[in-house]
Amino acid sequence: MKSFILISLPALALLAACASSDMPEASEGERLFADNCTACHDYRGTGSAQLIGGQAAPDLTRISARNGGTFPTAQVLSQIDGYGRGKVSAEVMPEFGVLLQGDLVPIEIDGTLTPTPRPLAALLAYLESIQVP
Ligand code: HEC
C-alpha cells in the first residue's frame, strides 16, 4: 500500500501538469503572427516583394509545397527560434525573445516529443494551418 502511494503521487502530478498545458490553437498563433511577422511576410503570410537586407520574405503558405508536401516542423521551428544560428542572419529576420517565453508544450519533432515554448508552438500551429498545396 505504501509503495502504491509513492508511485501514484508523482504519476498524478504528471497527469495534472499535462492536463493544464493544453496545446495552443492556430488562432493563438495567428495573433502572434499579426504582431510580429506581418511587416515582412504580409498579413496572410504570403510574403512580400519588398527586399529586407537584400532578401525577400518568402511566402509562408507554401512552405510544405516547397518541401515536397510535408510541413518541415524542425526546420520551421529553428528558423523562428534562432536566426543567428540559422542561415538567416539576425539583421534580416530579427530574433523574437518574447516568443521563447512561457510554458513548455510538447511538440513532435522528427518523431520525438520536444518541450517547446508555447508561443512558438502556437506559431507553428498557425503556419501549418495556412499551408496550401
Ligand atoms: C524583418 C523582416 C522579417 C520579419 C519581421 C519576420 N521574417 Fe521570417 N523571414 C524573413 C526573410 C527575409 C526570410 C528569408 C530568409 C532566407 O530565405 O534565407 C524569412 C524566412 C522565414 C521562414 C522560412 C521559410 C521557408 O520557406 O523556409 C519562416 C518559417 C519565417 N520566416 C517565419 C517567420 C515568423 C513566424 C515571423 C514572426 C515571428 C517572421 N518570420 C518574421 C524576414 C522576416
Question: What does each of the 133 residues of the chain score in pLDDT, given as a tens digit?
Answer: 454 555 555 554 544 454 445 899 999 999 999 988 888 888 788 877 676 667 788 899 999 999 999 999 988 988 887 643 445 555 566 667 667 788 999 998 888 998 988 999 999 999 999 999 8
Amino acid at 131: Q
Residue 84 has a pLDDT of 39
Residue 63 near residue 76 (C-beta atoms within 8 A): yes
Ligand 1 geometric centre to CA of 115 (Å): 22
How far, in Å, CA of 47 to CA of 93, rounded? 13
User: Quick one: which of 13, 7, 19 has its CA closest to 105?
Assistant: 19
CB 75 within 8 A of CB 58: no
- Whether ligand 1 lies within 6 angstroms of the CB of 87 is answered as yes
Neighbours of 121 (CB within 10 A): 25
Q: Does the CB atom of residue 60 touch ligand 1 within 6 A? A: yes
Joined grid coordinates for residue 25: 490553437
How far does residue 53's CA lie from ligand 1's centre (Å)?
A: 12
Q: Tell me the C-alpha distance between 29 and 124, whole Å.
A: 7
Q: How far is CA 93 from CA 29, 36, 58, 79, 103, in A?
A: 18, 11, 11, 9, 24
- Quick check: CB of 41 below 6 Å from ligand 1? yes
Mutate to test the pocket of ligand 1, among 28, 33, 37 (most ligand atoms within 8 A of CB): 37
**CA triplet 80, 85, 76: central angle to 5 degrees?**
30
CA–CA–CA angle 78, 83, 98 (5° rounding):
85
How many angstroms separate the CA atoms of 72 and 131, rounded?
11
Q: Is the CB of 57 under 6 A from ligand 1?
A: yes
Q: Which of 33, 36, 40 is the pocket-test mutation for ligand 1 (most atoms within 8 Å of CB)?
A: 40
